């Protein structure tokens, strides 16, 4: 679809590498029933719980898809659904104790990879990379 070194591919390669590392770390810690699609939802759950519809919007999937993924997360014990006190139609998706345990593991894996990247690029270029990407988000992220 284009030439070899377009920015898209250049962005995708390290993204994939990071994602793989995080899932390997989670699997090594015994959390092997966690899929990337589930993680994209899980990541968006706020401290007091978040509604399904809001999760769907932020993850840019339909609410049916979000519901499907939350079903899986619930069955695996990572989240639970509780009634929303402010709206009887809605339910809040909340992180369960088991789910909460995965957070530091994933965070550690991310930190480890970022440290490797910093060692490779040097602190200045890493900082510039982060800045450029953050700036790019302004024109590429519909939910910035």
Q: Which residues bind its own copies (CB under 8 A)?
A: 1-3, 5-8, 10-19, 22, 26, 39, 42-43, 102-103, 106-107, 110, 113-114, 116-117, 120-121, 125-126, 128-141
Would you say 86 or 124 has its CB closer to its own copies? 124
29: closest CA among 115, 109, 138, 119?
109
Q: Is 6 an interacting residue with respect to DNA (CB under 7 A)?
A: no
Task: Pick from 23, 25, 45, 51 the residue near DNA by CB under 7 A.
Answer: 51
Report which secondary-structure segment, H or E, holds 90. Answer: strand 87-95
Please report how the helices 123-140 and 97-121 are oriented relative to each other, as an axis angle in degrees rounded to 10: 120
Which range, of 13-21, 67-75, 107-115, 133-141, touches DNA by CB under 7 A?
67-75
53: closest CA among 96, 79, 84?
84
39: closest CA among 87, 95, 82, 81?
95
Task: Pick from 10, 90, 103, 121 the residue near DNA by CB under 7 A.
Answer: 90
């Amino acid at each position: 679809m284009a030439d070899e070194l377009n920015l898209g591919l250049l962005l995708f390669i390290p993204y994939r590498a990071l994602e793989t590392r995080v899932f390997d770390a989670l699997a090594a810690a015994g959390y092997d029933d966690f899929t990337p699609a589930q993680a994209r939802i899980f990541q968006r759950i706020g401290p007091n719980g978040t509604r399904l519809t809001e999760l769907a919007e932020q993850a840019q999937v339909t609410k049916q898809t979000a519901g499907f993924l939350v079903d899986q997360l619930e069955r695996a014990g990572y989240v639970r659904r509780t009634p929303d006190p402010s709206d009887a139609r809605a339910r809040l998706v909340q992180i369960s104790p088991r789910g909460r345990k995965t957070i530091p593991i994933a965070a550690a894996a991310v930190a480890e990879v970022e440290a490797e990247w910093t060692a490779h690029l040097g602190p200045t270029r890493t900082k510039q990379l982060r800045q450029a990407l953050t700036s790019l988000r302004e024109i590429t992220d519909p939910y910035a």
